Structure 1
Amino acid sequence: MPGAAFFDLDRTLLRRASGPALSEAMRETGVTSAALPLERAIFGYFDLFGETLGSIALARQGGLLVRGRAADAFDEAAEVAADRLAERVEPFARLLLDEHRRAGRPVVLATTTPEHLIRPFARRLGLDDVIGTRFEVRDGRFTGALDGPFVWSRGKLAAVRAWADEHDVDLADSYAYSDSVYDLPLLHAVGEPGAVNPDPRLLGVAIARRWPVLHFDTSPGVVKVPVVGLEVQQVAMAVARPELIPYARFEVEGVEHLPQTGGTILVGNHRSYFDFTTMLVAMRQAGRTGRFLGKKEIFDVPVLGQVMTALGGIRVDRQGDDDERDDPLVPAARAIAGGELVAILPEGTIPRGPDFFDPVLRGKPGAARLAALTRAPVVPFALSGTEQVWPRSARLPDVLALRRPPTVRVRFGPPVELKHRSEARDTDRIMAAIADLLPDELREPRRPTLAELARTYPDGVVPDEDRAFAVDG
């Protein structure tokens, strides 16, 4: 038997509760005349902390609202709410729905929300079916009694099992996604459980059982701080304030060239280990988080690799011999499809020796390939001065340069016009756009001193064959 994919609604497909939209639609269509007492506070608490026994006790009173009403009394309100709720479905939720459809799995909404209120929403999303709480209808009117289980916790599992038996679906081959610890019976019953925007207790279970922890407003693998809902990268950006980094002076220009929303490719040069910190400062000003491609050697380091993934990193095998890993452009393209920004340093590594001083930048074709694949705008940026704070020859940045900190510059430019016909030529266009943003002194050929040349090597030692490049070599 094939499997299916079961999705919870509130705080899963939707980041917040569906209740406010449903309640508002019912008032607008005359089904109800006023909001429930403390409605805003109840839903606000739910949005932050998830389901509680109190919120479920309130949901159980739904029979009182429908009792005696015509079976079609809520249809108009359900249609009005469906349009509003469909707009709130998270981008990566839509991508995951599409993945399950392509795999041939039925996609089913499994929610405590009354079925008569939420079925139009499911139709808007093209879902295959709805498993929701149903109320008995007799002589064309709701009696207020349940028609089947109350679809919550073990009741949800019972309803899903009944649906699976009816449709010849094997739960062991199925997927289920929820935010709530109360959905553990269902999550335990399927072969592929997923914790989405999990409440604190479900997060603990998911970590212990190594279940995927997802957030449908961001790429898979990106970690968020529970309750507050901030990405780890957002926390890092909050700390990356210029006044908290007194050993460098930052100048950021051209942030207006970065789109505020939508998939975007950000491309720049690579000069120092301090580049990442500098970009956190710059992106804080731009007001956007982003995903970034990084070499596999960093991601393969225990703990550090997990931290890089949590921050939004995408692992890149520069040698191309890591067969068990996906092409890094696949998750990068997925991030862009979800409306995220993806940063790439086309040089792939910090240039060393004479190459560091070459005004002609040379890049790999990954950024051009990604642009051709996604047709996202490609915004260039140029870094300079980061090598003065943390040269390649140093193990740590120079945090003692407090009296005369070096100036670090980030300059963004307008999107690069690409032709999407030749990766090589588009790569040249990208690298030229980055170089054009560099300060004048870095766009001219220059021979460094031996000391300057040494700072570009990991061990600080200039190979004999490169010494002649220095003016004093």
Structure 2
Amino acid sequence: MATFGLLFSLMGYRFEVRGAEHLPREGPGVVAGNHIGFLDFTFIGYAARERGRLIRFMSKTSLFEAPVAGRLMRAMRHIPVDRKSGARAYRQALRLVDEGELVGIFPEATISRSWLLKPFKRGAAGVAVSRRVPLIPVVVWGGHRVFTVDGRRSIRRRIPITIVVGEPLHAGEDESIDELSARLHVAMAALLEEAITTYPDRPRDDEDRWWLPYDHGGTAPDVETAAQLDREAVARLGDSFE
């Protein structure tokens, strides 16, 4: 994270981290984050610094194949995920949790073009239930203005980035993976709404409304339209789609 910390300092990003106390100072856990941009894992990892923790994120294999990014990802012990066969990554996540690590998972699996939450995969809740560890919801807002899908990126300085960490969820004795995953979705939706409504910036003009969801006065597609765009991207880009 030192490399990214230097970059963030140079760019002057205005971080606001709320609820960092919900990240445990020691011991295992699963950190579940929303996914709106390519740097989400770095922003969530940055927020964990004040708790003295590192988070090992599950990320697509192609990131590990890039010359510079791959070396950084391996050095930080992140987990490569081959979407055609995710069992190996899942086993590695379990091993890291058994070693007392925090494992980061994006339950949406791919970036949401609506900026709102997509349906969740079962992995985050599955690890939490399997190992009886806390499941910690986290949302990032503003990071998509830096670097996200469809060629959107910015070198503007001082972009605000809000990170909100929620109270850990603990699986009930008889709670299923799907039930815990549903609770996680509700918790993260509430955190995301808080992050959006309290974000300090507003669009400069109509062209700049792209980074706001449709139900907050933005021009991002609604959830159904975004899902169709995702399907088209998968057909066009295959496994390179984020």
Match of 2:146 in 1: 389
Deviations 1:222-246 (CA, angstroms, capped at 9, x unpaired): xxxxxxxxxxx4x336536x53332
Distance apart, 1:276 and its partner CA = 2.9
Aligned partners of 1:283 and 1:449: how far apart in 2? 30
Opposite residue 439 of structure 1, the aligned amino acid is: E
Aligned residues of 1:257 and 1:412 also touching (Cα < 8 A):
yes
Compared with structure 1, are the counterparts of its residues 313 and 445 closer, same or farther at alpha carbon in structure 2 (3 Å cutoff)? same
1:46-65 superposed matches below 5 A: none
Structure 1 portions without partners, runs of 5+: 1-232, 464-473
Structure 2 portions without partners, runs of 5+: 198-212, 233-242
Opposite residue 375 of structure 1, the aligned amino acid is: R
Aligned residues of 2:36 and 2:115 also touching (Cα < 8 A):
no
**From 156, 167, 175, the counterpart of 1:414:** 167
RMSD (CA atoms)? 2.9
TM-score by length of 1: 0.40
Compared with structure 1, are the counterparts of its residues 339 and 449 closer, same or farther at alpha carbon in structure 2 (3 Å cutoff)? closer
Aligned residues of 2:24 and 2:51 also touching (Cα < 8 A):
no
Match of 1:429 in 2: 183
Match of 2:208 in 1: none
TM-score by length of 2: 0.74
Deviations 1:268-287 (CA, angstroms, capped at 9, x unpaired): 10111232332232122222
Aligned residues of 2:28 and 2:98 also touching (Cα < 8 A):
yes
User: Within the alignment, does 1:243 sit opposite 2:9 as a pair?
Assistant: yes
Aligned residues of 1:237 and 1:284 also touching (Cα < 8 A):
no
1:153-302 superposed matches below 5 A: 233=1, 235-236=2-3, 239=6, 243-246=9-12, 248-301=13-66
1:74-473 superposed matches below 5 A: 233=1, 235-236=2-3, 239=6, 243-246=9-12, 248-301=13-66, 304-320=69-85, 327-352=88-113, 356-358=114-116, 360-394=117-151, 397-399=153-155, 401-402=156-157, 405-419=158-172, 421-440=175-194, 442=196, 446=215, 452-453=220-221
Deviations 1:405-454 (CA, angstroms, capped at 9, x unpaired): 3321001111113236422221111121111112348588617655x45x
Aligned partners of 1:357 and 1:239: how far apart in 2? 27
Aligned partners of 1:408 and 1:441: how far apart in 2? 10
Match of 2:203 in 1: none
Superposed structure 1 runs of 4+ greater than 6 Å apart: none
Helix, strand or coil for the counterpart of 2:128?
helix
Aligned partners of 2:148 and 2:135: how far apart in 1? 28
Compared with structure 1, are the counterparts of its residues 295 and 391 closer, same or farther at alpha carbon in structure 2 (3 Å cutoff)? closer
Number of residue-to-residue matches in the alignment: 209
Aligned residues of 1:237 and 1:280 also touching (Cα < 8 A):
no
Q: Which has the higher contact order (CA 8 A, sep 6+)?
A: 2
Opposite residue 337 of structure 1, the aligned amino acid is: D
Aligned residues of 1:362 and 1:428 also touching (Cα < 8 A):
no
Compared with structure 1, are the counterparts of its residues 268 and 260 closer, same or farther at alpha carbon in structure 2 (3 Å cutoff)? same
Distance apart, 1:305 and its partner CA = 3.1
Aligned partners of 1:297 and 1:391: how far apart in 2? 16
